[in-house]
Amino acid sequence: MGASLHFSENPLIKHNRVHLPQLLPQMEASFMPDLFSDPPYILLILGFALLFAAVVSMCTGKTFYRGLVYRAKDPSEFWWLVTIYFLGAVLFIGHFLYKAA
């Protein structure tokens, strides 16, 4: 038949368990960062999402809070919501930059 290779003969495989860090090459930096790593990239993503929501709300004249709020029908509530979106964006992005430094 031929010679058979037993797992115990390979120095990287011991007791039928593969030691992956030794078998696989070292991976380079990932293109997709871990969202909960240090610095916390989730804060940056949430900040840009709120900034995007504020800009879209200003351009379209409607925003979402317990249903649609229109700039023409209820301007006071509309501008308060847009202000809250902008402040949330500033706080999230600012906190990310503080943690990243």
Q: Which backbone phi and psi does 37 adopt, to 5 degrees?
A: -85, -175
Sequence-ordered list of residues with C-beta below 8 angstroms from that of 19, at least 6 positions apart, any chain: 12, 13
> Over 70: is that where the pLDDT of 31 sits?
no
With the C-alpha atoms ordered 97, 99, 100, 101, is the resulting torsion angle positive or negative? positive
What pLDDT, on the 0 to 100 scale, is given for residue 67? 84
Q: What is the pLDDT of residues 54-101, one digit of tens each?
A: 999 999 999 988 888 898 999 999 999 999 999 999 999 999 999 887
CA–CA gap between residue 74 and residue 4 (Å, rounded) = 80
The H-or-E segment that residue 101 falls in is: none
